[in-house]
Copies of this chain bind each other. A is one copy, B any other.
Amino acid sequence: MNDQKILDRILHPKSLALVGASGTPGKFGWLYPKAIFDIGYSGKFYPINPTADEILGHRVYRSLSELPETPDLMVVTVPAKYVKGYLEEAVEIGIPGAVVMSSGFSEFSPEGEEMERELADIAGRGIRIIGPNCFGIYSPKAGITVIPGAGFSREAGPVGFFSQSGGMVSDIGQMAMSRGIRFSAAVSYGNAVDVDEAVMLRYFADDPNTKIISAYIEGVKDGRRFFELLREIANKKPVVIWKSGLTDAGGRAAQSHTGSMGGDREIWEALFAQTGVIPVRGLEEMLDLLMVLTYIHPLGGRDIAIVGGGGGLAVESADLMDLAGLNLPVFSQETSKKIGALLQGAGSSPTNPVDVGNPVVHASTLVEIMKIIAEGEKVELFFVIQFLFHIYILFRRMSGQKDIPLSTFATYPALADGIREICGAYNLPVIGVFPETATSENPEEVELELEWRKARSALLDVGAPVYPSMERAVNAVSKLADYQDFLRHLTGKKDLGDGKCRLPRPLERL
């Protein structure tokens, strides 16, 4: 089998042996099977433990040799010193892949480094190893999840993610869920004794289910090879990389984290610029980019119309756009006149950015304005600003009915309907910007947070990403536009694709 097929089997096992399985609730060896059954794993499960009899209703085996079949994947959670023996046995019976979660290797001590070298030797004898010192893999199609994987989505999607840090896979899996980002697979490869960043990059490049590649990297083993791969791949599928350990202090921290060396900042920045990699500086920015790549890429160009309430925010937006190289085309007098007729005069502005003045304006007015712009102007994308969600609280107080839910006053369903319509009629994508200001522990404001999150879901359901600030929305779109310009420059093609709005959201439902 080639790498692609082996990794496919590791990521979509039909049978799985867990070495270090435990019958004791709370132990890692118990959490792991609990997590995969919760997320929908339906393959064969073979717990291995020398003493237990039954784990979560599954018969426990004393050793690998007792198994009734050769499993596709072995997951190992036992202490470092026992790992070697199990891997050797796995090679003997022909298990194609192993995920070694156990830590205590090169990241920990010279003895650990020696043990890790032994693991590398075993990998050379015909088993592919992910880890050690990792959180495992997340593969929604197969019902496999990492520890701690509580709350990961069961939906699969276009994003492939790999990370040295297990914590990052855990974080991104969690945070992606509510942002409408879904994964083909996510792999935490830890100390990379065998499967490393280059293997994962190759895998996701060739995997037809992966449309967007993303990674958190502390260091690479073979810089030249990685660079060549990026040059080949990043102009075919977008590649988003968070490279940490770029500074001296960061490099020092990386070394004690996954035993890897950082690297010179300038080199990495040049490498990214040359290959078209989209660089990000943190987890939030990574998610911001994955959202815009999932829902908006390819975008027609840099001309944007902003529609929303709150003058200061409109001014801020215009500044941010300008600094980020995005354009706010000036509308024709006719367009501005039509928009002006919908606005309430004082405090509002019918130019781009359109300031509806009164931030309590109903979402249906925002939609009407977007339609006028779509009819009369050439723009490629809308930013729609809805804020002061906390006005719902005021409305409820004024209504005198304390017990009605805040959703009674919410206008985002109308906004979502309007976006669906605009996308269908004019083929124009929309991004929502919902800054929320009421964030105290007051129960009403916590209830408001729920409304905010429901608004985000409502927009994501019609293919519109939502950002909590204009700054983050602008940053994501400008990085997308830069990437697209790179592609245009490289390929000579102006049109990067059908540019169609993505409705309904581009996720493969299970």
Contact = CB atoms under 8 A, between A and B. Distances in A.
A355 B453 contact: no
A314 B253 contact: yes
14 contacts: A105-B346, A151-B438, A151-B442, A171-B310, A171-B437, A177-B440, A245-B315, A246-B319, A247-B323, A248-B322, A250-B319, A252-B351, A253-B311, A253-B349
Interface residues of A, number: 95
Contacts of A437: 170-171, 174-175
Interface string A300-335: 000000000011111111111111000010100000
A353 interface: yes
A253 B441 contact: no
A432 interface: no
A94 interface: no
Interface stretch (A137-145, A385-393, A495-503): A385-393
Interface in A345-390: 345-347, 349, 351, 353, 355, 359, 387-388, 390
Contacts of A170: 388, 437
Contacts of A478: none
Interface stretch (A52-60, A231-239, A444-452, A486-494): A444-452
Interface stretch (A206-214, A277-285, A408-416): A277-285
Nearest to A150: B394
A355 B449 contact: no
Given A167-B312, A253-B355, A254-B315, 15 more contacts: A80-B346, A108-B346, A150-B393, A151-B440, A171-B310, A171-B312, A171-B435, A177-B440, A178-B440, A218-B315, A247-B319, A253-B314, A257-B314, A284-B471, A446-B446
A124 interface: no
A105 B438 CA distance: 31
- Residue among A26, A310, A441, A450 with max Cβ neighbours from chain B (10 Å): A441
A258 interface: yes
Contact of A256 (B168, B349, B471): B349
A377 to B, nearest CB: 15
Given A167-B312, A454-B441, A256 B351 contact: yes
Nearest to A310: B167
A148 B346 contact: no
A148 B359 CA distance: 10
A316 B251 CA distance: 10
Interface of A: 25-26, 80, 103-105, 107-108, 112, 133, 148, 150-151, 163-165, 167-168, 170-171, 174-175, 177-178, 216, 218, 244-254, 256-258, 281-284, 310-323, 328, 330, 345-347, 349, 351, 353, 355, 359, 387-388, 390-391, 393-394, 397-398, 435, 437-443, 445-446, 449-450, 453-454, 456-457, 469-471
A283 B438 contact: no
B133 A347 contact: yes
B441 A316 contact: no
Contacts of A245: 315, 318-319
A321 B355 CA distance: 38
B258 A150 contact: no
A109 to B, nearest CB: 9
B457 A441 contact: yes
A283 to B, nearest CB: 7
A5 to B, nearest CB: 30
